[in-house]
Chain A
Amino acid sequence: MAHTYLNSLWFMPMVLVAAPAFSADYLTVAQAQALIFDKAAVFSERPTLLSSDAKDQIKDLSGVRQRQDQQPIWKVEKDGQFLGWFVVDDVVGKHEYITYAIGISPQGEVLGLEVLSYRETHGGQVREASWRDQFHGKTLKDPFKLDEDVSNISGATLSCRNLLDGVKRLLVIHQLFLSQSVA
């Protein structure tokens, strides 16, 4: 009956073809800040604790659940001039959370988007400038529909949709809690 042990070795070739690991964290917060804003800009951390009512408001306006109580937010200035806000966020990917950051102008426009970590099977194109640039200038007046104002990446539709919804949610947070707070 020795062959019965061999049956289970059928898995071994599968193990041997396992692809090597790759780095998942591409940017630090500081690197993303420098890419979206001027390198000479000053970032003042303004962590925002969102109450249950605030989270409900965000969901009502954005149509997306606000999962985090604490939203990491930085106020951005240069030479005493207010440049806008820098926000770090996580959205659900197929396997793990996708960490990204956006800059928001004082008028509520997206100044840029950077992907800090992405660990999914498909859809590495979310890190390419051509895809991220589609968010530049986005405001809450835009439709935020996949394949309408932002293109979909095949095999990573859930990631694209959640990033799109995430940006809309951050613009809602800006509208509700940041746009009046520039002091």
Chain B
Amino acid sequence: MRTFSRHRLSLVAASVLTLGICHTATAGEDLFGYVKGAEAMPKEAIELYQKVTLRNDKGQGTYRGINYETELEYGVTDKFAVSGSAKFMSLDTSGLIIDGYLPKEKNIGFATSGAEVGLSYMFLSPAKDDIGLSMTASLDYDWIDVHSGQDKDTLSLDLGLQTQKYMLEGELIWVGNLGMESTYADRAPIANLPEDFDWSTDPEMELELKMGTGLSYRFAPNWFICAEVLFETEFETEIGQERWSFFAGPSLHYGSADWWATLTWLPQLSGGGEQYEGQKDTSLHLIEKTEQEVRLKVAFNF
């Protein structure tokens, strides 16, 4: 509990420090923490952003994962952009073992965990056409399992469609997202597991569908208040629907000419599918998801 408070305090301190030092701003601008808009970066524009996501609480013991992603995005044309990112993570889990998913307690201070390349193309401009439409595709390679912290090679192809509508001259913005992630994963063996513990090292395929929507309102110059809803469900060959979850929550976004920041709180409202033995709150999915997620994004444009 003490460590958790330290983490929260240090995250808040970093956020305040980041926001306080920068007096100017820019970027391709994420109004929301999770759902994406459809507007493209202009040609030769560069955006550098840092994303930090705190995933906390599985309802028993201690579970706290922090994921860091540093991304660079470049506008190749006025409609087409490419991006690359490096991913890092820390994880602290104790007092909770989940057969097949969390084989051991794990404490990772800070580790390089993966890399991602992506592209986006805007078909319709939300500011010029009646509604904006863009697509994204990204290839993601992770070598640490984000849930358990164990060694696991994961290759994912994520395809998405984004719509965006400007209303009230751009003060009110609606976005809608559809996405599908196909994943090939291969776990490394773990020594000294109990004989009856399920830790399959056979490669597996997973298919995840994602739907999201969000509404943002600019309540003062530079300041936006936003709300978003995210539904995710995952299917596996042997299990069928393995899990589903609804997350929803508010965001506060500040944007100006050279930088922007978005802080999002996204609690899990409901979920289902597989549950661990002894799970108390059976209305949530707490094996691969947590009860709470908090995300902070800070970005600079060049």
Q: Which positions in A face B, CB cutoff 8 Å?
A: 1, 3-12, 14-15, 17-22, 24, 64-65, 91-97, 119-122, 146-147, 152, 154-158, 160-162, 165
Contacts and interface: CB of A to CB of B under 8 A. Distances in A.
10 contacts: A3-B109, A7-B10, A7-B110, A8-B14, A17-B48, A65-B168, A96-B256, A147-B128, A158-B166, A165-B169
B24 A18 contact: yes
Nearest to B92: A4
A53 B88 CA distance: 58
B14 A18 contact: no
Q: Which 4 interchain pairs have the tightest Cβ spacing?
A: A155-B42, A157-B127, A8-B10, A154-B78
B15 interface: yes
A19 B222 CA distance: 17
Interface stretch (B133-141, B181-189, B284-292, B294-302): B294-302
* Chain B interface residue bracket vs A: 35 or more
Contact of B257 (A14, A22, A147): A22
Interface of B: 3, 6-7, 10-11, 13-15, 17-18, 21-27, 29, 39, 41-43, 45, 48-50, 52, 66, 68, 70, 75, 78, 88, 90, 109-110, 125, 127-128, 166, 168-171, 218, 221-222, 255-259, 298, 300-302
A20 B70 CA distance: 21
Contacts of B48: 14, 17
A15 B109 contact: no
Contact of B24 (A8, A19, A97): A19
A97 B109 CA distance: 44
Given A158-B170, A165-B169, A96 B15 contact: no
A122 to B, nearest CB: 5
Contact of B170 (A15, A17, A92): A92
Contacts of B41: 155
